[in-house]
Amino acid sequence: MSIQTELQSTITDLVVKGKGILAADESHPTMTKRFKAINVESTEESRRAYRSLLLTTPGLGEFSSGIILFEETLEQKTDDGKLLPQVAAEQGIVPGIKVDKGTLPLANAAGDLITQGLDGLAERLTGYKEHGARFAKWREIYSISALNPTPLGIAANAEVLARYAAICQSLGIVPIVEPEVLLDGDHTIERCLEVTEAVQHAVFHALHRHRVELEYIVLKPSMVVPGKNAQNKASPEEIAEKTLAQLRRSVPAAMPGINFLSGGQTPEEATVNLNAMNAMAGNAPWQLSFSYGRALQQPVLQAWQGKPENIKAAQNALYKRAKLNGAARYGSYTAEMEKE
């Protein structure tokens, strides 16, 4: 199979109406924090048990076209000895892999961060591909303040995202490009719109410079929202209106899919906002979907509590949230569905 054919096959399987991507790629420190909230110790075995629970959820493939995994998950198995990426594939869910190595302060750009992990990336991707991964994910983060992100921060992060994406495509792996404008702060929704637009313009210019083929990438952006400590909150309709305006100004029509991150929103907020966007999108050139981590998993963790007897309840919670977001993909979600 040619690289072009591989990329097309993966995009076709990932960008599917009514489906989104489950982000289950939490690092060890993040998993420790999530497990601590339910009094579960984060060990290799507890993480394996939890991620096995996610992937063996009956019917998950009805609403999830892909799952982003953490490195250790590629070699972990279910209780009956089946590799977790294989379990995903059997549900019709494309296995993917988080490949960045976290952030460090960006020199000469006070307050801005830059993501590590380009060194040796091609070799790591080759190994991940052998373990079944067909797409990858890389996240750059941008905090909003009076001075941030700086022009240097915006340019440097865009360059790294484009380099990562080009390496992925050269190996037949679809890159998810994730420029996350953080929810933290008291900024207005207008300030978030300004920053998000500047960030995405820079990202697509960099992708063009590196000859990344937009037909074979997925954008994973944040929604345009006010800071979580802002005085004025925004309605789902305002969030949808401003996010769609920004996307139309920044994102070329060649892009097949835009899968939003939840970025600290509650599960209900993330679903309502996605629904509002799809209800308002009209003939948008790209599919608007989800790639949620916490907004899908929070009810699962609360139901599970680390107890084997709670697995079915936890899986039911995951299936329900996936189904609700599947409805939001069509703009047909209603609050009444939460009670069903």
pLDDT in tens, 82-106: 999 999 999 999 999 999 999 999 9
Q: Roughly what angle, to the nearest 10 degrees, separates helices 28-36 and 44-55?
A: 80
Q: What are phi and psi of 270, to 5 degrees?
A: -60, -40
Query: 259 falls in which pLDDT band (50, 70, 90)?
Result: very high
pLDDT above 90: residue 318 = yes
**220 tagged catalytic:** yes
Percent of the chain with pLDDT over 70: 100
Question: Helix, strand or coil for residue 2?
Answer: coil
Spatial distance between the Cα atoms of 129 and 91, rounded to a whole number of angstroms: 19
**pLDDT at residue number 113:** 98
pLDDT above 90: residue 1 = no
Query: 162 falls in which pLDDT band (50, 70, 90)?
Result: very high
Spatial distance between the Cα atoms of 121 and 129, rounded to a whole number of angstroms: 12
From the candidates 220, 242, 320, 323, give the one annotated as an active-site residue.
Answer: 220
Alpha helices in the chain (DSSP H): 3-14, 28-36, 44-55, 84-90, 121-130, 151-170, 189-209, 236-250, 267-280, 294-304, 311-328
Mean pLDDT over the full length of the chain: 97
Q: What is the CATH number of domain 1-19+97-294?
A: 3.20.20.70
Question: Helix, strand or coil for residue 105?
Answer: strand
Report in angstroms the alpha-carbon separations of 124 from 11, 29, 66, 161, 242: 21, 21, 20, 17, 38
pLDDT in tens, 126-145: 999 999 999 999 999 999 99
Question: Helix, strand or coil for residue 15?
Answer: coil
Question: Helix, strand or coil for residue 275?
Answer: helix
From the candidates 159, 178, 197, 320, give the one annotated as an active-site residue.
Answer: 178
**323 tagged catalytic:** no
Contact 176, 220 (CB under 8 A): yes
Spatial distance between the Cα atoms of 288 and 278, rounded to a whole number of angstroms: 7
Global confidence as pTM:
0.96
Q: Write down the domain spans for the chain.
A: 1-19+97-294
Percent of the chain with pLDDT over 90: 98
